[in-house]
Amino acid sequence: MYKNEETGIYYLCDYIPYRLPTGEVNPRFDTNSGRILDVKSDDDRGIDHFFPMLDKIIPAEVAIAVVPSHNPEKTSGGLYRLVNKLASKKSRIDASSCLVRKYMVDKLAHGGSRHIEVHTRSIGMTNLHLIKGRKVVVLDDVTTTGNSLLACQQILLSAGASNVKCVALGQTEGY
Residue-range definition of the domain harbouring residue 98 = 2-172
| pLDDT tens, position by position, 16-65 | 999 998 999 999 999 999 999 999 999 999 999 999 999 999 999 999 99
**What pLDDT, on the 0 to 100 scale, is given for residue 166?**
98
Q: What is the value of pTM for the model shown?
A: 0.93
pLDDT for 117 equals 86
The yes-or-no verdict on residue 98 having pLDDT over 70 is: yes
Query: How far apart are the C-alpha atoms of 169 and 159, rounded to whole Å?
Result: 25
Q: Which domain CATH number covers 43?
A: 3.40.50
State the average pLDDT over residues 134-139.
Answer: 98
Q: What is the pLDDT of residue 175?
A: 53
Q: Closest Cα to residue 160, out of 81, 65, 55, 92?
A: 65
Domain count along the chain: 1
Residues 6 or more apart from 175 whose CB is under 8 A from it? 4, 143, 144, 145, 146
pLDDT at position 106 over 90: no
- CA torsion angle for 154, 155, 159, 161 (degrees, to 10)? -50
